[in-house]
Amino acid sequence: MSAVLPPGTALGSCTLGEAVRKEAFTVTYEAEQRLAGRKVWVRTLKSTVSAKSPHAEGLEREARALSKLEHENVIRLYAVERSETTLALVLERVPGPTLEELAAKGRAQPECATAIALAIARGLAQAHARSIVHGGLRPDRVIAGGEGDVKIVDWSNAIEVGAPLPSVEPEGTLVAPDWLAPEQLAGEAPDARSDVFSTGAIAYELIAGARPFEAPEPRSVARRIRAGDAPPLATIVEGIPRPIERIVARSLALDPRDRFDDGAALATALADALAELTPLSPRALVARALAAAGFGTATLAPIPRRTQGELGPSVVDALRPLLVVLAFIVGGAIAIESLRDDDDRRPFAADARTLAHGRDRALLRVVAHPWAEIYVDGEHVETTPLARAIPLAPGRHFVTFRHPNAPDEQRSIKIAAGQSVFLDVTMRVDRGDAGLRVDAGAAASP
């Protein structure tokens, strides 16, 4: 008995066409929803799999998840067809290549790959806000359309936070583990940070033209993932913008606590990075990636860059109040500094005697996005983004980054005489409900 139904088969309200995707337990067909008169996809169990089988769990999870989601970067669920012998999802038809097909064409420009990752993160943001974790992101489960549309099309691994884990192995874990987070490989339940890891792995592959943990066989891949053994993007892609490299590296952090908290936080970082680098909209960048791979007709002219110091309108508007405050702070600091002796300018009066000797001096340099007050060993010493190098006595120090709308970020450093240590931190700023709506559901245009 064939596991695939022939074209012309009636299934509920739909008439099936050709099969377009086959998984371990399911098949997705081109179809027509007769009453609505529209082209759709129908995702159903293979005819050799019973609707009462435990393997039907994946479709049921996908139906529950998609019934709670309505987002431009998530495939739409139109209907569920269920009977004693059938379980099928009637889904939005999404034309275009998968990211697996796109990656097979070679490297994407970093900004274009970042725009694709931004669309994925925005779709995840809504899911995470509604306590849904995708749990199985990989390139063949995301489709990019020629007009710059990006949609996550397969949610069969989805779980609700706090719900029991699947009783059978999900379809997504029956293939190479290249995009699974290390905690998933260890048998733990995925959470929003696991989806962040998978998104980072997809972005890495699009940018580098190779998977971050590539190895000849799945066991070696899993071993490299658990070891956090991904080559830095800067060693593979010459001239990759630092903000993009930093975001991907943080997304692939071995410890979930070091990643972005969820899709909304990742989307914010990606959107800010793109706004800093180019005036093009994310949709235009996605269309360029497709055209470069032969899937579209968008222009392939060089991506316009923002001049040094130029920021997108949304960034300027967001930072304008902060810049005014900083201008007063800096002006006051300059006036105060002019009244001090050189030795009094150091933030640690107790260490002034030690730091006066050049060879015993150590320096801490910090960058915080969007900004933060810097405390060293409990003492406030600087405020970014205009922070200068902070002189320190050799030894161990505890550095705290503090922002009024973000959890504190803490780092422990051990610094030697004559050494310079650099810390680059992104504050997980809570932008409130309005900010979440923009990040999670806005059209992909800054």
Q: How far is CA 324 from CA 318, 319, 402, in A?
A: 12, 9, 19
Q: Is it the case that residue 236 has pLDDT exceeding 90?
A: yes
pLDDT tier for residue 334 given thresholds of 50, 70 and 90: low
> What CATH number belongs to 342-426?
2.60.40
Please state the rounded mean pLDDT for residues 417-424.
84
Ranges 177-186, 213-222, 300-309: which has the least confidence: 300-309
pLDDT of residue 378: 84
Provide the token pair at 127.
């899911």
pLDDT tier for residue 387 given thresholds of 50, 70 and 90: low
pLDDT tier for residue 331 given thresholds of 50, 70 and 90: low
pLDDT of residue 441: 36
What percent of the chain is predicted at pLDDT more than 90? 49
pLDDT of residue 439: 38
Q: CA-based angle 125:129:132, to the nearest 5? A: 90
Q: CA-based angle 208:211:216, to the nearest 5? A: 135
**Which homologous superfamily is 99-302 in?**
Transferase(Phosphotransferase) domain 1 (1.10.510.10)
pLDDT of residue 323: 57
> Tokens 């007709």 appear where?
297
- pTM value is 0.69
pLDDT of residue 424: 85
359 burial (CB, 10 Å; 0-12 / 13-18 / 19+) is exposed
The amino acid occupying position 63 is A
The amino acid occupying position 275 is A
Please state the rounded mean pLDDT for residues 396-412.
88
Ranges 129-138, 419-428, 432-441: which has the least confidence: 432-441
pLDDT tier for residue 24 given thresholds of 50, 70 and 90: confident
Q: Is it the case that residue 139 has pLDDT exceeding 70?
A: yes
- DSSP string across 151-172: EE---TT-EETTSPPPSS--GG
pLDDT tier for residue 347 given thresholds of 50, 70 and 90: very low
Provide the token pair at 427.
């504050």
Select the more confidently predicted residue: 316 or 277. 277
List, in sequence order, every residue forming a beta bridge with 44; answer none if it has no partner. Answer: 27, 88
Ranges 92-106, 240-254, 346-360: which has the least confidence: 346-360
pLDDT of residue 404: 82
Please state the rounded mean pLDDT for residues 117-130.
97
pLDDT tier for residue 354 given thresholds of 50, 70 and 90: very low
Provide the token pair at 134.
């995708």
Strand order, beta sheet including 373-376: 379-383, 373-376, 395-403, 406-415
pLDDT of residue 416: 87
pLDDT of residue 352: 34
> Tokens 């060293």 appear where?
376
Per-residue pLDDT of 152-194, as tens digits, reads 999 989 999 877 666 555 555 545 689 999 999 988 889 999 9
Among residues 49, 45, 42, the alpha carbon closest in space to that of 16 is found at: 42
Angle between helices 282-292 and 263-277 (to 10 degrees): 80
10-92, which class in CATH? alpha beta
How does the average pLDDT of the chain come out, rounded?
82
